[in-house]
Amino acid sequence: MTTTTLSRPNVVHIVGETVLDGVRLVGDLTLFFLQLLWWMKWPRGGVIWPIMYQTGVQSLPVILITGGFIGMVLAVQAYDQFAMMGMENQLGTVINVTLVKELGPVLAALMLAGRVGSSMAAELGTMRVTEQIDALTALGANPVRFLVVPRFLACFLLIPLLTIVADGIGMLSGWMFSTKILGVHSFYYWHHSFNFITAYDVMSGVVKSVFFGAAIAIIACHRGFHSRAGAEGVGRAATESFVYSFVAILLIDFLLGTFFMKLYYVLWPGDISMV
């Protein structure tokens, strides 16, 4: 393979380089994921519980706050539009469907990426630059099995629960705000919601979240493992972990959203209740 060094980088050069870097990153992440699968076993010695606590329990406050506000924000934003058409009673439908299918899973994932993902990247990055990861290998403990598997399992298993919590609290706050402040009738609020939301909607949201959780854990651990030296390198690993997770979440959301829509038409052809 020959590479030519250009005296002045031109657009083609820069675009090519960026694309190659992207492809390389995706390839790297895939290999990392395969390694993870290879070493997948329930961690011994209770190492997973503190990680689960950190991932799940300690994320609850921030999930409750964002979920609660997003329910109310949805109510505020949708109310005017619906009132104009005289359809205030339908408010519950739009709030609840949006929450269950989109905002619940995505918000829970973003919070997890920001709170847990970046701290995992920073933690593993510190272990990398202080040679603790080498020390694990030297003492006969596979670092992927020892460090990545428990973190992956924690994200993977807990994110559906966090999503359901975000969904629930968002629904609750949206309902309270709509009925108490905006004066929508509670009976119609729920009546229309239940007519529209299907188990399929809830399920598709939760399934999406599992993919988000897996992506967050893989990206965070990968960035940590490849952290560069020094405080700067570790900080960068944490930032990159969040940015890459963010992009991954939106990308997966788009792909799976499309997939679930298509699947719905395959499973129930002719049904138009899906908006």
Partner 1 sequence: MSLIDLKHASMSFGPQHVLRDITLEVCKGETLVLIGESGCGKSVTMKLMMDLLQPTKGKVLWDDKPIHSRSAKKISQERLKFGYLFQQAALFDSLTVFENVAFGLRQNKRMAEAKVEETVNGRLRDVGLSPDVVVDKKPAELSGGMRKRVGLARALAMSPEIMLYDEPTTGLDPIMSDVINELILRTRDREQMTSVVVTHDMHTVKKVADRIVMFYPLTRLEPDEPQIIFEGTPDEAFACDDPRVYQFVRGEAGERLTELAAA
C-beta closer to partner 1: residue 17 or 134: 134
C-beta closer to partner 1: residue 137 or 195: 137
Pair of tokens at residue 155: 């994200």
Min separation Cβ 135 and partner 1, Å:
4
Min separation Cβ 56 and partner 1, Å:
19
Q: Which position has the token pair 């138009």?
A: 272
Min separation Cβ 27 and partner 1, Å:
18
Asked if 160 contacts 210 with a C-beta cutoff of 8 angstroms, the reply is yes
How many chain residues are in contact with partner 1, going by CB under 8 A?
Answer: 12
- Asked if residue 14 binds partner 1 (CB under 8 A), the reply is no
Q: Is the alpha carbon torsion for 157, 160, 164, 166 positive or negative?
A: positive
- Asked if residue 119 binds partner 1 (CB under 8 A), the reply is no
First to last CA, the chain: 52
- Asked if residue 181 binds partner 1 (CB under 8 A), the reply is no
Min separation Cβ 233 and partner 1, Å:
13
> What sections of the chain are H helices per DSSP?
11-38, 48-55, 60-84, 91-98, 104-112, 118-129, 132-138, 143, 149-176, 186-196, 199-225, 230-267
C-beta closer to partner 1: residue 44 or 180: 44
Give a three-class secondary structure readout of 96-120.
HHHHHHHHHHHHHHHHHHHHHHHHH
C-beta closer to partner 1: residue 89 or 119: 119
Residues 122-151 that bind partner 1 (CB under 8 A): 130-132, 134-142
Asked if 112 contacts 215 with a C-beta cutoff of 8 angstroms, the reply is no
C-beta closer to partner 1: residue 39 or 188: 39
**CA 228 centroid distance within chain:** 25
C-beta closer to partner 1: residue 12 or 139: 139
Q: Which residues bind partner 1 (CB under 8 A)?
A: 130-132, 134-142
